[in-house]
A and B are shown apart, each in its own frame.
Chain A
Amino acid sequence: MLPQLTANALIAAGAYCLVAVGFGLIFATTRFFHFAHGAVYAWGAYLAFLFVKVLGLPLPVGAALAVVLCAGLGAAFELVLYRPLRARGASPLVLLLASLGAYVVLQNLISLFFGDQTQTLRSGVVRVGLPILGARVTPIQLVIIGAAVLLTAAVWLLLKRTRLGLEMRAVANDPALALVSGVRSSRVILATFVLGSALAGLAGILVALDVDMTPTMGMNALMMGVVAVIVGGTGSVPGAALGALLLAFAQHFGVWHISSKWQDAIAFVVLLLFLLFRPEGFLGRKVRKAEV
């Protein structure tokens, strides 16, 4: 029981982490909650479904195409919606409301095109997982964990070791100062949307390979990513990973005693506890309660 619970928690943490890192990156540089990130995640899964199951492309090709299109979708959000809004001096709440609207539109477009029923990316027979240290884990679940570890490390290195990463941190830290220092913040923000959205699309595809897809999968995944980012501390890549781990373990060990249908409720109780008692999360900057 214990090894299986740990394995399940790690798999969930991997999926949350991929969403959280992308969302956290966008939140750090733009300072608003990009709800439509959840729609990018769901579209990742459905685009892969379109390429692989409808058009018959091989899975790696279809998945790669879907990830590229998701990156494009993220860039489109920034260019068509958020950048014009920012140019009009929109507050984070206005951006948040616009992105909620965008989420609603994109989720319902999935329902229109692909239907509300569950769709699957998997092919062939369902195989029993490999036994690893007393737990059963399927290959795709190993891929989720591996991808989460590798990509989180890669994003962290990007932020710490490259010119683009330095610029991203500069914009996150102080957009005005970054601008006068010669950082073209609009390009940096665009790059964050491309990178974050690609991560979201990939996460959607990997999760769909594990547990199939529904049009509403994005909202839940996004909220788990948001919870992970807030719990871990905004503006910190290791924080997002830590938050994802903590959230996944709270959910999976919480359901040891109570039914698994309460997982959502557990996640949001964790979130509320953090918002009430430690809104800056584990590794984050202080949250402003009010300002003059």
Chain B
Amino acid sequence: MGYLLHILILIGIYVILAESLNLIAGYAGLLSIAHAAFYGVGAYVAALLALNYAVPPWLTVPAAVVAAAAVGALVAWPALRVRDDYFVVATFAFQVIVFSVMNNWVALTGGPLGLPGIPRPDFFGLTVKSHGGFLLLTWLFAAAVAFVCWRLARAPFGRVLRALREDEVFAAALGKNVASFKVRVFAIGAAMAAVGGCLYAYYITFIDPTSFTVMESIFIISIVIVGGAGSLRGAALGAAVLVILPEALRFVGLPSSVAANLRQIFYGLMLILFMVFRPQGLIGEFSFRRR
């Protein structure tokens, strides 16, 4: 039972990450492999505040959100100068720099040893400890994030993002401030990813840099691609599929190190196969196939 709840909690966290990346990559068409960096910034800010200053979660989460939004706006900066594959490389650079800070600034982040003993979140006297409690908490936040994404996608804001994706020059010609939209969508997406990071830190009670690597970023991108870029339901579906399917490997009785590698091979293959046979994903509307 605990295992089942664990999987459901992970799905909730990945729904948050996929929905927020979907806003950036699916709606605005800005393919980013820096999402694990935002996720990590959220986790580290919440964990450090909770550990060092005993800040309650209703303050750590907003702090993490603000910090990640600032980093997100910074990542959007190169998007104003370069595009497409050059931009992907720029987000990659941010990802590596953020990882480098987590791994090397030992005095602040504990370096490779990570931050153990993150306290259970306490909401005004109500402490969340059980798997069931975390499931409720995670899915509440996931629903909130999905709702915000849904509203944004339907709002004029979302329409401009799609216009940006399809034809940036045209959007600019209509008088839309392209730069401002890019910075805002990154700040919003990063802020939502930070919520996922906070939940992860509180749930696992231990974080270290290995949870926030380039590979994690590629995993989140795979979720968006498999589910379908530019579709809110697609991102949720992708999260469920890519979290659940590799779990089957566990039941075959493989050693955990082999299972970890096979899991990555699985999503690498999914990425390739979807690009070849179904670039719009299971139910997406956009396939990075402009021009």
Q: Please state if A271 and B93 are interface contacts (CB–CB under 8 Å).
A: yes
Q: Please state if A92 and B78 are interface contacts (CB–CB under 8 Å).
A: no
In the complex, A103 Cα to B60 Cα: how many Å?
A: 37
Q: Is B203 an interface residue (CB 8 A)?
A: no
Please name all residues of chain B whose beta carbon is closer than 8 Å to the beta carbon of A287 when the two chains form the complex.
Answer: 82, 86
Given A116-B257, A261-B104, A287-B86, answer yes or no on A101-B81 (Cβ-Cβ < 8 Å). Answer: no
Please name all residues of chain A whose beta carbon is closer than 8 Å to the beta carbon of B265 when the two chains form the complex.
Answer: 104-105, 108-109, 112
Q: Is B290 an interface residue (CB 8 A)?
A: yes
Q: Please state if B289 and A272 are interface contacts (CB–CB under 8 Å).
A: no
Q: Name A262's contact: one of B104, B215, B271, B289 (CB within 8 Å).
A: B104
Q: Is A58 an interface residue (CB 8 A)?
A: no
Mask, A25-39, CB within 8 Å of B = 1, is 000000011000000
Contacting B at CB under 8 A, from A262-290, are 262, 264-265, 268-269, 271-272, 275-276, 279, 287-290
In the complex, A263 Cα to B78 Cα: how many Å?
A: 21
**Closest B residue to A103 using CB positions:** B268
What class of interface size applies to chain A in its complex with B? 35 or more
Q: Name B289's contact: one of A90, A219, A264, A291 (CB within 8 Å).
A: A90
Q: Is B261 an interface residue (CB 8 A)?
A: yes
Please name all residues of chain B whose beta carbon is closer than 8 Å to the beta carbon of A264 when the two chains form the complex.
Answer: 96-97, 100
In the complex, A103 Cα to B90 Cα: how many Å?
A: 18
In the complex, A236 Cα to B168 Cα: how many Å?
A: 29
In the complex, A182 Cα to B265 Cα: how many Å?
A: 40
Q: Please state if B84 and A275 are interface contacts (CB–CB under 8 Å).
A: no
Q: Please state if A259 and B218 are interface contacts (CB–CB under 8 Å).
A: no
Mask, B252-291, CB within 8 Å of A = 1, is 0000011001101101111110011001000000011111
Q: Is B49 an interface residue (CB 8 A)?
A: no
Please name all residues of chain A whose beta carbon is closer than 8 Å to the beta carbon of B33 when the two chains form the complex.
Answer: 100
Please name all residues of chain A whose beta carbon is closer than 8 Å to the beta carbon of B101 when the two chains form the complex.
Answer: 265
Q: Is B7 an interface residue (CB 8 A)?
A: no
Please name all residues of chain B whose beta carbon is closer than 8 Å to the beta carbon of A166 when the two chains form the complex.
Answer: none
Please name all residues of chain A whose beta carbon is closer than 8 Å to the beta carbon of B172 when the two chains form the complex.
Answer: 290
Q: Please state if A105 and B272 are interface contacts (CB–CB under 8 Å).
A: yes
* Residue from the set A81, A84, A219, A265 with the largest chain B CB neighbour count within 10 Å: A265
Q: Please state if B276 and A92 are interface contacts (CB–CB under 8 Å).
A: no
In the complex, A288 Cα to B168 Cα: how many Å?
A: 12
Q: Name A97's contact: one of B81, B83, B225 (CB within 8 Å).
A: B225
Contacting B at CB under 8 A, from A76-100, are 81, 84-85, 88-98, 100
Contacting A at CB under 8 A, from B77-94, are 77-78, 81-86, 88-90, 92-94
Q: Name B81's contact: one of A111, A116, A289 (CB within 8 Å).
A: A289
Please name all residues of chain A whose beta carbon is closer than 8 Å to the beta carbon of B257 when the two chains form the complex.
Answer: 116
Given A265-B96, A268-B96, A275-B86, answer yes or no on A98-B276 (Cβ-Cβ < 8 Å). Answer: yes
**Closest B residue to A111 using CB positions:** B261
Q: Please state if A262 and B100 are interface contacts (CB–CB under 8 Å).
A: yes
Q: Is B135 an interface residue (CB 8 A)?
A: no
Closest CB-CB distance, B117 to chain A, in whole Å? Answer: 25
Q: Is B169 an interface residue (CB 8 A)?
A: yes
**Closest B residue to A268 using CB positions:** B93
Q: Please state if A105 and B269 are interface contacts (CB–CB under 8 Å).
A: yes
Please name all residues of chain B whose beta carbon is closer than 8 Å to the beta carbon of A206 when the two chains form the complex.
Answer: none
In the complex, A105 Cα to B262 Cα: how many Å?
A: 9
Q: Is B185 an interface residue (CB 8 A)?
A: no
In the complex, A11 Cα to B290 Cα: how many Å?
A: 41
Given A101-B270, A272-B78, answer yes or no on A112-B258 (Cβ-Cβ < 8 Å). Answer: yes
Q: List 29 A-B contacts (CB under 8 A).
A: A33-B85, A33-B89, A91-B291, A93-B85, A93-B288, A94-B289, A97-B288, A100-B271, A101-B270, A101-B271, A101-B275, A104-B215, A104-B218, A104-B267, A104-B268, A107-B264, A108-B262, A116-B257, A223-B96, A262-B100, A265-B104, A268-B94, A268-B96, A269-B97, A275-B89, A276-B81, A287-B86, A289-B81, A289-B82
10 more A-B residue pairs beyond the given contacts A94-B279, A287-B82, with a C-beta to C-beta distance below 8 A: A92-B85, A93-B84, A93-B88, A95-B275, A96-B31, A101-B222, A112-B258, A219-B214, A265-B101, A290-B169
Please list the 7 inter-chain residue pairs (A to B) with the smallest Cβ-Cβ separation, ordered nearest first.
A101-B271, A104-B268, A268-B93, A105-B268, A101-B272, A98-B275, A265-B100
